[in-house]
Structure 1
Amino acid sequence: MPFKFDVHDRSVYREPAPIDQDSPFQSMMERFDIAAEILELNPGFYEYLCRPARVFMTSVPVVMDTGHVKVFDGIRVIHNNVLGPSKGGIRYAPDVTLSEVKALAAWMTWKCAVVDVPFGGAKGGVVCNPSEMSPGELERLTRRYTSDMFNVFGPDRDIPAPDMNTNEQIMAWILDTYSMHSRRTENAVVTGKPVALGGSEGRHEATGRGVMTVTLAALEQIDRSPSDCTVAVQGFGNVGSVAAQLLQEQGCTVVAVSDVTGGYYNADGLDIPAVQQYVKENGGSLEDYTEATHITNEELLTLDVDVLVPAAKEDQITKSIAEDMQARVVVEGANGPTVPAADDILNEKGVLVVPDILANAGGVTVSYFEWVQDRQGYFWSLKRVNKRLKRTMTDAFNRVYETAEKHDTSLRIGAYVVGVSKVAEALRLRGIYA
């Protein structure tokens, strides 16, 4: 029986299962729905694309240093693999939820499509507090989680990467564990690993560098020079610290940064390399930094700056924050930092928002480069990686900007239209297997 494709039959749409209205997944769905309406997306495709293809849950028992066994919850969500093997990070955090991981996996699907990377979307997480675990406990946790996911992961199936509270070392343990089960070294099973194990030059800085690239593109659209711009960065982890450093190198004045201890503001500009050194020497924290005035994270978000880079967690720019915001440009280094209710407010105020699925796609772009290099067994120079990253991010920004103008909508919806249309077209061409 041939597959019926009728873009006008809206009556057969079915709402997804009820979920928390404030959840990250609901935030993703509200934007997805708008793009689906613009595209007149086939109802069957809508149903298929708005839900995960597969969800894996596992109990991860770990022998702690005390000798006691503690069991952690592990999650891996494959949202879509129509364009290629699924791709997405693994986060270790005490507040990881299935709703969050589902949303992050969906964002990865659209993100890969926006930057024209032939991957689908996935995400993983383990509910734990890594700050309270020893290196040995983290290694045992990682290896058991990888073992449980052995039939999920694979260089042609699903490729994990670092995310919140995971790093190169954890990726190395995943690589080794998977390789031990495979009885051969599989470098391409994971990205974001050490260069000595097949990692790519430039991968550590890739997300922050991508944020910098699209920030410059956005400033060009509003006819502003980087040397005339002030910047505030919420979150001083890998993404935020690198973005702050690179934007300062481009001539911007970074007046504020923050972490979980709050914000740190200096109207004359912060010395970002000095701040990075302080964090390194202070156990990874900005606490008690004296070369700036201490402010709250909420105050940082509403500073009178040209560019705001939210690079912390989801749902930071709420409706009330949006009403008080003064930034002219927002570049979302984090996933889902702006709640849907804030979008209309920012649009009405004329704030140019570069959305997460475009702004922070530098990481997955260089992850793709890493995967390609591993498959080839030939590695590129840092100069080549950065050159190709710049071209990819600039082309994606221009594509999204043109799409937003065409449909008279925000860059966020423009990005969703680009991503969803690419995946839907691939699904149409492949057909529905029965």
Structure 2
Amino acid sequence: MKSEPLSYLPSGDQGPWGIYLEQVERVTPYLGKLKYWVDTLKRPKRILIVDVPIHLDDGTVVHFEGYRVQHNTSRGPAKGGVRYHQDVTLSEVMALAAWMSIKNAAVGLPYGGGKGGIRLDPRQLSPSELERVTRRFTSEIGILIGPKKDIPAPDVGTGQREMAWMMDTYSMNVGSTTPGVVTGKPIAIGGSLGRQDATGNGVFFTAAAAAEKIGLPIEGSRVVIQGFGNVGNAAARAFYDHGAKIVAIADVTGAIYNEEGIDPYDLIRYVAESETRGVRGYPKAEPLPAAELFAVPCEFLVPAALERVITEQNAHKVQTKIVVEGANGPTTPAADDILAERGVVVVPDVLANAGGVTVSYFEWVQDFNSYFWTEEEINQNLERVLREAFEAVWQVAQDRKVLLRTAAYIVAATRILEARALRGLYP
């Protein structure tokens, strides 16, 4: 008898969840006896859909739909961010939770995968409205989260401020200050040094590890970055500080290009002062049609925005040696195949953007012990963890003659399913 199909997603194109399922199918032949448990990876452990009603500043009431998905907890509590975006869907949150399971296992963190989201445009809400949304959402998902059950973190549209509200709301509801319920908090309430730039720094560390394997120097290399939020600008600064040349950058406002290089520190100042709060109009670079960004010749391409941006429609235009996935799921399986045929190395998201969750793990450990590390210690440990994880995945890729993404899934799925097999089924 076969397992019943999931009933809460439409048939046919299942969006990001469908991409994840295809990735699981690709890795299944390499799992040996653990294939017995592979359906564990194809269905989330728990899904909570909540109504989030709030009063707007004008006194009216609006309702938002929110989600918290726990994909797998065989190796530890669920871990994953909370996304505020107008295009959030259940399929997306399910996929993001599943990718967190894979990411945490690939890096060797003692976590399962989780993810949350609310379908709203945070730019359309005032700070007080966002606070009410965050606190109500936290209360609604409070039955799932906890420092030993499910630990949220920032994601697209959220940051330290929202994590402070989440931590405070949870603490008020349980009657004691509980800093470990979320990570990515401000330093003053139990956050970790190095957390804000952790994902971008991790992008650079894994890019450097991949570059060493193919004999590509960082210094003098050209870099193209899609996305200039926390991940994109931290990655840009790390590449720039090591002598690379940032030739093109894009964000939601537009794309810019300068073959002589863009100073990311100067661009950050411009973005903070500009009316658009984005890169559009930067006077030291030329405007570039967004559709042409991936066609700019470079050594490193860093998609650091949303998923499904490199597809079979544009993969043949990519002019780079290494794609480093700062975003979650930016490359579709069909695009993976095209890039592989063209000799492009793809450092998959489950390695490339694992810096954030790795330092979140450090933050969680520090909160439990009430003992905090220096930023130098954080960054040294981060580089060590990611380089060790990359080396293990690279070796599997060489031994099995598979893509790095498949190798990362082999490593991660093996760890998850070994834990599932050892724990067995209860009752």
**TM interval, short-chain normalised:** over 0.9
SS for the counterpart of 2:313 is helix
Partner of 2:151: 159
Q: Tell me which of 35, 39, 53 is aligned to 2:31.
A: 39
Is it true that 1:224 corresponds to 2:236 in the alignment? Answer: no
Distance 1:224 1:344 in 2: 22
Distance 2:96 2:416 in 1: 17
Which is worse superposed, 24-33 or 179-188?
24-33
Displacement of 1:43 after TM fit?
A: 5.0
Q: Tell me which of 164, 179, 183 is aligned to 1:172.
A: 164
Q: Tell me which of 179, 188, 195 is aligned to 1:196.
A: 188
Distance 1:396 1:15 in 2: 33
Is it true that 1:94 corresponds to 2:94 in the alignment? Answer: no
Q: Which runs of 5+ in 2 are unaligned?
A: none
Partner of 1:259: 251
Is it true that 1:385 corresponds to 2:411 in the alignment? Answer: no
Aligned positions of 1:388-403 closer than 5 A: 388-403=381-396
Partner of 2:317: 324
Displacement of 1:96 after TM fit?
A: 0.3
Distance 1:20 1:232 in 2: 34
Where has structure 1 moved over 6 Å in runs of 4 or more? none
Distance 2:341 2:79 in 1: 35
Aligned positions of 1:218-297 closer than 5 A: 218-282=210-274, 284-297=277-290
In angstroms, what is the RMSD of aligned CA positions? Answer: 1.3
Partner of 1:104: 96
Q: Tell me which of 59, 68, 75 is aligned to 1:67.
A: 59
Distance 1:16 1:346 in 2: 31
Distance 2:97 2:265 in 1: 33
SS for the counterpart of 2:233 is helix
Partner of 1:413: 406
Distance 2:153 2:4 in 1: 33
Distance 1:415 1:228 in 2: 29
TM-score by length of 1: 0.95
Partner of 1:308: 301
Distance 1:43 1:326 in 2: 37
Partner of 2:421: 428
Letter in 2 for 1:52: P
Residues 22, 181 of structure 1: CA spacing in aligned structure 2 closer, same or farther, 3 A cutoff?
Answer: closer
Displacement of 1:22 after TM fit?
A: 6.0
Distance 1:297 1:50 in 2: 35
Asked whether the equivalents of residues 258 and 285 of structure 2 are also in contact (C-alpha less than 8 Å), the reply is yes
Is it true that 1:213 corresponds to 2:205 in the alignment? Answer: yes
Letter in 2 for 1:393: L
Asked whether the equivalents of residues 234 and 297 of structure 1 are also in contact (C-alpha less than 8 Å), the reply is no
Partner of 2:49: 57
Displacement of 1:41 after TM fit?
A: 5.4
Partner of 1:3: none
Residues 378, 70 of structure 1: CA spacing in aligned structure 2 closer, same or farther, 3 A cutoff?
Answer: same
Displacement of 1:19 after TM fit?
A: 4.1
Is it true that 1:123 corresponds to 2:104 in the alignment? Answer: no
SS for the counterpart of 1:117 is coil
Letter in 2 for 1:208: G
SS for the counterpart of 1:126 is strand
SS for the counterpart of 2:260 is coil
Displacement of 1:392 after TM fit?
A: 0.4
Distance 1:252 1:137 in 2: 41
Residues 48, 248 of structure 1: CA spacing in aligned structure 2 closer, same or farther, 3 A cutoff?
Answer: same
Q: Which runs of 5+ in 1 are unaligned?
A: 1-10
Displacement of 1:298 after TM fit?
A: 2.2
**1:255-306 per-position Cα deviation (integer Å, ceiling 9, x unaligned):** 0111012211000001111011111112531121121111122211111111
Distance 2:306 2:14 in 1: 14
Asked whether the equivalents of residues 306 and 329 of structure 2 are also in contact (C-alpha less than 8 Å), the reply is yes
SS for the counterpart of 1:343 is helix
Distance 1:199 1:164 in 2: 19
TM-score by length of 2: 0.97
Displacement of 1:326 after TM fit?
A: 1.2
**1:301-330 per-position Cα deviation (integer Å, ceiling 9, x unaligned):** 111111100001111001121111110100
Distance 1:353 1:77 in 2: 28
Matched residue pairs, number?
424
Distance 1:164 1:325 in 2: 25
Displacement of 1:40 after TM fit?
A: 3.1
Asked whether the equivalents of residues 328 and 351 of structure 1 are also in contact (C-alpha less than 8 Å), the reply is yes
Distance 1:19 1:298 in 2: 30
**1:361-392 per-position Cα deviation (integer Å, ceiling 9, x unaligned):** 00000000000000001000000000000000
